[in-house]
Amino acid sequence: AVGSVVGQLAKARGARAVGIAGGTEKCRYVVEELGFDACIDYKQHADVRSLSAALKAECPGGVDGYFENVGGYILDAVLLRANAFSRVAMCGMISGYDGQPIPMAAPQLILVNRMKVEGFIVSEHMEVWPEALKELGGMVATGKLKFRESIAEGIASAPQAFIGLLKGKNFGKQLVKLI
Ligand SMILES: NC(=O)c1ccc[n+]([C@@H]2O[C@H](COP(=O)([O-])OP(=O)(O)OC[C@H]3O[C@@H](n4cnc5c(N)ncnc54)[C@H](OP(=O)(O)O)[C@@H]3O)[C@@H](O)[C@H]2O)c1
Q: Does 172 lie in the same domain as 99? A: no
Whether residues 140 and 159 fall in one domain: no
Q: Using CA atoms, how far apart are residues 144 and 84, in angstroms rounded to an integer?
A: 32
Partners of 68 in beta bridges: 90
Residues 21 and 98 in one domain: yes
C-alpha 68 – ligand 1 centre gap (Å): 9
Instruction: Please state the atom number of ligand 1 nearest to the C-alpha of residue 94.
Output: 45
Atom of ligand 1 nearest to the CA of 90: 1
Which atom number of ligand 1 is nearest to the Cα of residue 72? Answer: 32
Q: How many domains does the chain have?
A: 2
Looking at the fold, whether 27 and 60 belong to one and the same domain comes out as yes
Shared domain for 91 and 115, answered yes or no, is yes
- Ligand 1 pocket list (CB less than 6 A): 1-3, 21-23, 26, 69-70, 91-92, 94-95, 120-122, 165-166, 168, 170, 173-174
Per-residue pLDDT in tens (0 to 9) along the chain, 179 residues: 999 999 999 999 999 999 999 999 999 999 999 999 999 999 999 999 999 999 999 999 999 999 999 999 999 999 999 999 999 999 999 999 999 999 999 999 999 999 999 999 999 999 999 999 999 999 999 999 999 999 999 999 999 999 999 999 999 999 999 98
pLDDT for position 56: 98
Residue 19: the pLDDT is 98
Q: Which domain holds residue 129?
A: 2-147
| Ligand 1, atom 18, residue with closest C-alpha | 1
- CA–centroid distance, residue 75 to ligand 1 (Å): 13
